[in-house]
Every structure is written in structure tokens, then in C-alpha cells.
Amino acid sequence: MNTKSIFGIILTVIGLIGLIYAGIDFSKGGVAQASFVFLVLGGIFFFAGVSLIRSTKA
């Protein structure tokens, strides 16, 4: 495995954790600003990780 693909997997997992946490926080009726921050950062990490994995040659 390449270092880029490992880093992409790590970013994707962190992004998924952030998106799940934001979803749980939204469903509990938490503070909207904090949930929005988790949602945005999770999305950025997730899509950056996925694009890094896709751009890495196997």
C-alpha cells in the first residue's frame, strides 16, 4: 500500500466519524452551530480522503 492511500483511508474514516457525530447531534437537538461545524469538517475530510484514494494508482 502506498502512503497516499493509507492517508486517504485515515481521512475518510475521520470524515465518517465527524458525519456520524453531526447526525447524532442533530437528532438529539443539540446546538446548531456545533453540529454544522462537525458536518462541514466531516464532509471535507470524507471527500478529501475519497478523492485521495481514487487518485492514487493501484
Give percent of the chain with pLDDT exceeding 90.
Answer: 47
Question: Which letter, b or e, does each residue of 10-34 get, where b requires 16 or more Cβ atoms within 10 Å of its Cβ?
Answer: ebbebbeebbebbeebeeeeeeeee
Mean per-residue pLDDT, 54-58: 79
Write down the pLDDT at residue 58: 63
pTM tops 0.85, yes or no: no
Write down the pLDDT at residue 35: 80
Which range has the worst mean pLDDT, 7-16, 33-42, 45-54?
33-42
- Cα(33)–Cα(50) distance, integer angstroms: 26
- Is pLDDT larger for residue 32 or for residue 17? 17
